Structure 1
């Protein structure tokens, strides 16, 4: 990995193409390309470069590349830091037959040089050369990141982080010392969203400050009234939301909330689940040096090293959808199961809803043990449909790269309605992975390998020949006699000594 750290004043010199000679004009044409086209894993980027000179121009070589570059900017107090990381560099080999023999572009003549690239699934090992604490993080850094900051719709990306892909053509000339230097270059940007398969759920701990997997709250009738009980809302990581390979559609997913109400007495009834609202926060991490951790885990704000780093978050509310919730169900606690008196009285009611009646013996026993709390609790499950607004925002897949990363947090707020019109809200936040699924007509699967159907259609693989039944027989005498180191003696093969 080559990471360049530049003064803020030199950033424009890196980004803007050099145009030192106006005697040469170059134009890049990509086949079947249009402005909103999205390329993905194994997509073909082919076309040609046209070169025309107004005067005879001597040149050394012509180079056509497919480049992927990540750039970050840290506005530090002392010196702003700008970092450029070229993680993808594919060079198109150009046969000598496409060059003029004299290595001179003649005036008025148009030269056409074709190119053909394929978007890879993984980067080469030298794309990430900084220290990575484990193989899992290294594998993420060797995946292609999506384009950032160059979309028609808002993609939640700050100006401090950019990921771009382009086809670039360069003309080199030799200087007075005989060294080859760049005389002219032009580029054509493209947008890339690579295929991203579903990853394993993150291992969230208490040290991961970004997420709130579970939250507990005490309920009261009023501020001065005694406690009615405690409600705990826990969430699990939902299945990923998958973007189509063309970037226009996102398949919905479903999040699950588990609610537990622990009453302080038998008279306390669980609150009513009034509704659930949700939103998604996109967090973009960027750094001036190689990131050696998952930035969304632990505490990113305190993990400062010698290099500057930052984070930018932006949220979008999700459209309201009907929430499916199961009724509260009563379950015995560990205390109730140990006490045979409560067990015999409540066992028959443990699977009934909270609106059912309790037996008189249960009420008397609960009043005796009222100071210790009820020997049972209530549990409910809520399913929350999640539909990302792809029509309003441009979502890109979750990714971790060397100097930039993008993650999503799903925030869900549960509104509980209790007695006397008192409402309470509890908010939890869980990781939400956004992946990219291959299209229905895609010739590659989620790993970037050709599908079986694509392989069967590929004549160059000669699949039919391998699937034909084979016949094994003894080779002819002529063949056996020509084996090196053997000679034929009668009807037997003997090794020469």
Structure 2
């Protein structure tokens, strides 16, 4: 193993550097990726010191503008590389003209410790998100659609420390920082429960169709989107491992039985990246409800959104099936609905009631149903799509906006839907091959987690009651 005893440099100068093995500027690290390298130190004079630190750190930073801007930094990851005493020189002086080399070996963890999120939350499920590693944000070569107000960064830091003569506090006399980009592996999340209060999404849309503005209604078209499966990226972040399929269910209620269903003449789409950030800890899912509503809490909040168009989408052919309207639901009449268009999530139940509504007064006794399957490919050649994440002071979510061009005769109408889209990264736990390295810091953190993990207490089994014998202690 290299030693701090070092070697004489031909042209010495004071410097400290973090050198990563097999590293290049665009390299991406994932969950369980090893990070190997060394720290080199050279000095122009003798430098007394007390200790050297090598750290793997993760920070989330947010800045909320206003009359009094708030800058907040949350350190969610801090791993220390142990340095054996045998590598330190005796006495602890960095001698003039020598180069000292200290190796290090980290592993990107799969999950943070439970102490990474210890603030109040409205659900325990939210903490499960907050203890997952967030991806790097704001430091990619390609635009990752992040604002200046929210960043996530991972760094290898090397420090030479000396104790203050007054209070014994460590003072940094030398420091070097190497930033790396991390795309942690993620898993598929269950579909969101979208309600009327979730202003970010529009899962249903109902529209009355006419041949022209002055013509009578031909019928009513209801489009209902189903949340697609995640868009899964490979560990390099550049290629898709799986392509999600957007599903849109169509229901057409004609004003009379002789009116044929409309045609889908075109489909277009875009993906919007929304970044949420706060000057205080976030206790809810920021994409659910209304993030911009007034809050009683003192922290300031902000959001930033930007969109990118999807590659051209193939126009799916709607295969309509005809059904009879239930005669048991003849209570109001088809023409009783006055709203031309509605975005609320209650449209699904309303559409069902309309299909079962009265066939009296000239209403059609039939309705038509169709299902559209639309493959979605992300434009990874244009933008960097970091995975969806929720952390203590910042989040990133995506929405998929679909516009359906509907043709009736010579007239064309547009029906638009906005649905949640999860972006995930597949696991790559054998990156770089070979066994993954380990070190004492990882063991210490695992032991701390085991110590702090909640215990479940329960009554012993009947066979062990009123005895001094318990399982495992025979």
TM bucket (normalised to shorter chain) is 0.7 to 0.9
Task: Give the structure 1 partner of residue 368 of structure 2.
Answer: 378
Task: Give the structure 2 partner of residue 490 of structure 1.
Answer: none
Q: Distance in 1 between matches of 2:411 and 2:316?
A: 22
- For structure 1, list consecutive stretches of 5 or more residues without a partner in the other structure: 1-21, 339-367, 445-456, 461-497
Is 1:27–2:21 an aligned residue pair?
Answer: no
Structure 2 counterparts to residues 36-435 of structure 1, below 5 A = 36-77=26-67, 79-177=68-166, 178-250=168-240, 251-304=242-295, 305-335=297-327, 371-419=361-409, 421-435=410-424
Q: Tell me, yes or no, if the aligned pair for 2:219 and 2:255 is still in contact at 8 Å.
A: yes
Cα distance change, pair 96–295 in 1 and its aligned pair in 2 (3 A): same
Q: String of CA shifts for 1:109-147, please: whole Å, max 9, x gaps.
A: 111011110000111111112111111100100000000
Q: Distance in 2 between matches of 1:44 and 1:303?
A: 44
Q: Distance in 1 between matches of 2:215 and 2:312?
A: 34
Give the deviation of 1:321 after TM superposition: 2.7
Give the deviation of 1:328 after TM superposition: 1.4
Stretches (4+) displaced over 4 A: 440-444, 457-460
Cα distance change, pair 216–257 in 1 and its aligned pair in 2 (3 A): same
Give the deviation of 1:459 after TM superposition: 12
Q: String of CA shifts for 1:261-285, please: whole Å, max 9, x gaps.
A: 0011123221111111111000000
Q: Distance in 2 between matches of 1:201 and 1:212?
A: 14
Give the deviation of 1:101 after TM superposition: 1.2
Give the deviation of 1:226 after TM superposition: 1.3
The alignment partner of 2:286 has SS state of coil
Give the deviation of 1:303 after TM superposition: 4.9
The alignment partner of 1:126 has SS state of helix
Give the deviation of 1:107 after TM superposition: 0.3
Q: Distance in 2 between matches of 1:232 and 1:267?
A: 19
Q: Tell me, yes or no, if the aligned pair for 1:323 and 1:382 is still in contact at 8 Å.
A: no
Give the deviation of 1:326 after TM superposition: 3.6
More helix by share: 1
Q: Tell me, yes or no, if the aligned pair for 2:59 and 2:154 is still in contact at 8 Å.
A: yes
Q: String of CA shifts for 1:195-221, please: whole Å, max 9, x gaps.
A: 001111111111101100000001112
Scaled by the length of structure 1, the TM-score of the pair is: 0.77
Q: Distance in 2 between matches of 1:337 and 1:72?
A: 55
Larger relative contact order (CA 8 Å, sep ≥ 6): 2
The alignment partner of 2:402 has SS state of strand
Report which stretch shifted further, 410-419 or 218-227.
218-227
Give the deviation of 1:108 after TM superposition: 0.6
Q: Distance in 1 between matches of 2:107 and 2:26?
A: 19
Give the deviation of 1:337 after TM superposition: 9.0
Q: String of CA shifts for 1:36-58, please: whole Å, max 9, x gaps.
A: 10000000011100011110010
- For structure 2, list consecutive stretches of 5 or more residues without a partner in the other structure: 1-11, 331-357, 438-474
Q: Tell me, yes or no, if the aligned pair for 2:37 and 2:103 is still in contact at 8 Å.
A: yes
Q: Distance in 1 between matches of 2:79 and 2:51?
A: 16
Scaled by the length of structure 2, the TM-score of the pair is: 0.80
The alignment partner of 1:140 has SS state of helix
Cα distance change, pair 458–317 in 1 and its aligned pair in 2 (3 A): closer
Q: Distance in 1 between matches of 2:436 and 2:71?
A: 49
Q: Tell me, yes or no, if the aligned pair for 1:219 and 1:228 is still in contact at 8 Å.
A: yes
Give the deviation of 1:70 after TM superposition: 0.6
Q: Tell me, yes or no, if the aligned pair for 2:16 and 2:176 is still in contact at 8 Å.
A: yes
Give the deviation of 1:181 after TM superposition: 1.4
